[in-house]
Homo-oligomer: A and B are copies of this chain.
């Protein structure tokens, strides 16, 4: 059985004040063409379909169009889950009716996971769709204590194992941070305080685990796979080779994964040099329309360098002055500060004003408050 696995479309994302919707539509046109050409048994979309709980209406229209072309026009079923950027309720609208058409959307987390059963010559394959859920949501759905993300996911997977027929192959579609995975700057942390990760072993026993959340394509133990994001959504992803994944699930449950690269309308690149050199280089650059992050090595003052850079690279997004970045302690301290999360920043601040460290109890209260804020932020509309 064959799947096309993709994730982290982040439709509606704004990057350096620019909407990426046209770039996303450009990629998804290729994705739809690929679906029509390769005709997988199902398309798996592993969460963060939208960039935020309330996406712009144009992003809603784009997703509607893409799904209709895959499900109605090409006749290929889709299994799609909500990620931590999506609103479970909004993404799940119409799910009960849509499932009869072959669009299986898992938004709200319920005790009984959404299960889609497909068959090939070798028998049944059960696809379990597990939308992203906070531990508190899982606690409510299962009426049991789950201290964190790993326990929550383990509880949901245990419930599936208890009813999964031994002879059927199994696929899990989920949205999670597997310990050891390589993160990027555009992923929103699943948990304040760093307890959001889960051990790969929670997925023991399932034949294929098709994940979303991490933006670089990566695989654990040949069967736990992140397809990666649709586009480069942060500078930290500039070296990523983005792709979607064609996955073959053999009769014995063995998995083989073929990454298929789609071509972005505009790549995200770093160029480095003196402004004058970059202007000359850009004029002759066949990919001058790319999104450009320029590292300028000039030492002196520069008059409106962005306006000048955009004459050569019209879609230049940002300029970094190498001389400033290198200028000693202040720059390095700023860099270190930017890498701290809110909890660490607050802990430093507390130490500064109270002259004592934040103890474990206080830190726990702080984390709960920050979690609450993050949750309210996600759910607010």
Taking Cβ atoms with an 8 Å cutoff, the residues of A that contact B are 53-58, 60-61, 63-64, 67-68, 71-72, 87-90, 92-98, 100-101, 103, 108, 379, 381
Report which residue of A53, A54, A90, A97 has the largest number of chain B beta carbons within 10 angstroms of its beta carbon. A97
Contact B379 A87 (CB under 8 A): no
**A96 with B379, Cβ < 8 A, contacts A57-B89, A58-B89, A89-B57 known:** no
Contact A98 B95 (CB under 8 A): no
Chain B residues contacting A72 (CB-CB under 8 Å) are 96-97, 100
Contact A93 B94 (CB under 8 A): yes
A381 nearest CB across to chain B (Å): 5
Chain B residues contacting A58 (CB-CB under 8 Å) are 89
A interface secondary structure, majority: helix
User: Quick one: closest B residue to A101, CB to CB?
Assistant: B97
* Cα separation A88 to B53 with both chains bound (whole Å): 18
Q: Which listed residue, B55, B89, B92, B94, touches A98 by the CB 8 Å rule? A: B94
Q: Enumerate the 8 nearest inter-chain pairs by beta-carbon distance, A residue then B residue, closest first.
A: A57-B89, A68-B96, A97-B101, A94-B94, A61-B89, A60-B89, A54-B381, A64-B93
7 further contact pairs, Cβ within 8 A, besides A57-B379, A64-B95, A72-B100: A53-B57, A57-B87, A60-B93, A61-B89, A64-B92, A72-B96, A100-B100
Chain B residues contacting A61 (CB-CB under 8 Å) are 89, 92, 108
Report which residue of A53, A92, A381 has the largest number of chain B beta carbons within 10 angstroms of its beta carbon. A381
Chain B residues contacting A381 (CB-CB under 8 Å) are 54-57
**A67 with B379, Cβ < 8 A, contacts A61-B89, A87-B57 known:** no
* Cα separation A140 to B67 with both chains bound (whole Å): 25
